[in-house]
Amino acid sequence: MPSIKKSATKTKSSRKSGFTTDEPYHVEYIGKTEVHLLGTAHISEKSVEAVEALVEKVKPDAICVELCDSRMKSLEDPDYLKKMDIFKVFKERKMWLLLSSLILSSFQKKMGNQKVRPGDEMRKGIQLGREKGLLVVPVDREIQTTLKRAWGNVGFFSKTFLFSALITSLFVKEDVSVEKIEEMKSEDILNDLFSQLPRRYDSIRNVIIDERDIYLSEKIRRVALEGKFKKIIAIVGAGHLKGILQHIQHEHPLEPLESLPKSSWLDYAKIAIYPIFFAGLIGYTTYTQGKEAGGDILSQLVWIKGGLAAFGALVAWGHPISIFLAFLTAPIGTFVPIFKAGWVAALSESYLRKPTVEDFEKIAEDSETVSGFWRNRVIRIFLIFFLPQIGSTVGTFLVAWKGIRNLF
């Protein structure tokens, strides 16, 4: 393995490179490669300027950016979301990835500084790299892997809390001042964002922050150890810089960080709970009180659970066929958990009422008002995904409660 030298500096400016900046900045030597690490805020005009200045001063052979392959493609293609096939997204059950992309997109018009879009410093690095014929390397873990690992590490109530916070963020209209943006580059402030959460969310912090620190450092390190480059620049969020510096001089396997959570016996048991419970409830009620009583529970599953799921789709202004499918699927899903009323209704809606380009362009604007949620076809599909599911869940507990009470 090539020899490893100590870092050139741990300050914001480097005498070795002759480059000075107010941005968090560090130079490391990995083998014979000079690695320039620049910490940025993703909505900072000064960060964009610092990227341009660093590229011009250092004249690197390669540029690493804190993006995964899919995010880099979407960043380079402004029409990425508009070209997305919503029906295919729901068919392949990738709605969580789309939802996160929509929320990030909505912030573009909500950040007070309209001159800079989120990720513009990454765009600048990619643009300069392409113009100069340099290798541009996305060094972050795929966002879908990160989301699945984070989601798989928390329980039901934590998921509910986090999802509520995610949806609520769509309604935030707070302007962010230039001073606040620059303050975000402080490592302590960025780390404090997660330290304020209860300890039960430490696993999420570990996936989103700590794991990615290791992943980013190893990917940058591997680029440096290829031996093809004398100088490389790595553009990363300021909050990751400290963690990257802790790991970049050490080898780390990436496979464990790229693996997805595997289903345990408990996960399969959870899936079987509803079918077993209701089959047992109907069977025992029929045995002790007769066929009419057992049939009554089955009828309630259809009319109460199906009715509430259909009502959810109706409230979301779903297509009549989507409403009917929500009604039909909800009771079936009790015994065949793979069928979810919200998922089937949203799949139907995305096929019957495909969003227009204008819907994608107005996501940020429409998400600022309650009426906009129903007006925008993209956002409304998510309402049709969630509301029938909520109705179906409420119906499940109502029928279970009525059935148990009837036994006693």
What is the chain's pLDDT, residue by residue, as a tens digit (408 residues)?
333 333 333 334 344 556 677 778 999 999 889 999 999 876 778 888 899 999 999 999 999 999 888 888 877 776 665 666 677 766 666 666 566 656 555 555 555 445 666 778 899 999 999 999 999 999 999 887 887 787 776 666 666 666 665 555 555 555 555 555 555 555 444 454 555 556 666 777 788 888 999 999 999 999 999 888 999 999 998 888 989 999 999 999 999 999 887 777 766 777 788 888 888 888 888 988 888 888 898 999 999 999 999 999 999 999 999 999 999 999 998 888 888 898 899 989 988 888 776 677 676 666 667 777 778 888 888 889 889 999 999 999 999 898 888 877
Termini Cα distance of the chain: 73
Tell me, yes or no, whether 53 lies in a domain.
yes
Same domain, 317 and 349: yes
Strand partners, 62: 135, 232
Tell me, yes or no, whether 348 lies in a domain.
yes
- Beta strand 33-40 with 25-30: parallel, antiparallel or unpaired? antiparallel
Q: Can you point out the beta strands (E) in 266-396? A: none
Same domain, 148 and 249: yes
Same domain, 172 and 297: no
Domain end, chosen from 258, 284, 308, is at: 258
Domain end, chosen from 208, 224, 258, is at: 258
Same domain, 254 and 133: yes
Which strands make up the sheet holding 231-237, listed edge to edge? 25-30, 33-40, 231-237, 62-65, 135-138
Same domain, 221 and 335: no
Q: What is the CA radius of gyration of the chain?
A: 26
Same domain, 135 and 78: yes
Tell me, yes or no, whether 11 lies in a domain.
no
Q: Rounding to the nearest 10 degrees, give the CA dihedral for residues 328, 331, 335, 339.
A: 50
Same domain, 193 and 310: no
Contacts 24+ apart (CB under 8 A), 247-250: 247/213, 247/214, 247/217, 247/218, 248/28, 248/30, 248/35, 248/217, 248/218, 248/220, 248/221, 249/4, 249/28, 249/30, 249/221
Same domain, 56 and 75: yes
The tally of domains found in the chain comes to 2
Tell me, yes or no, whether 291 lies in a domain.
yes
Same domain, 225 and 333: no
Q: Rounding to the nearest 10 degrees, give the CA dihedral for residues 272, 277, 280, 285.
A: -160
Helices then strands, counting H and E runs in the chain, come out as: 22, 5
Report the C-alpha gap between 350 and 363 in whole angstroms. Answer: 16
What DSSP designation does 114 have? T
**Residue 259 identity (one-letter amino acid):** S
Report the C-alpha gap between 49 and 53 in whole angstroms. Answer: 6
Domain that holds residue 47: 25-258
Tell me, yes or no, whether 14 lies in a domain.
no
Tell me, yes or no, whether 77 lies in a domain.
yes
Same domain, 68 and 150: yes
Tell me, yes or no, whether 30 lies in a domain.
yes
Same domain, 234 and 329: no
Tell me, yes or no, whether 195 lies in a domain.
yes
Domain end, chosen from 258, 277, 298, is at: 258
Q: Look-up: residue for tokens 């997805």?
A: 260
Same domain, 252 and 357: no
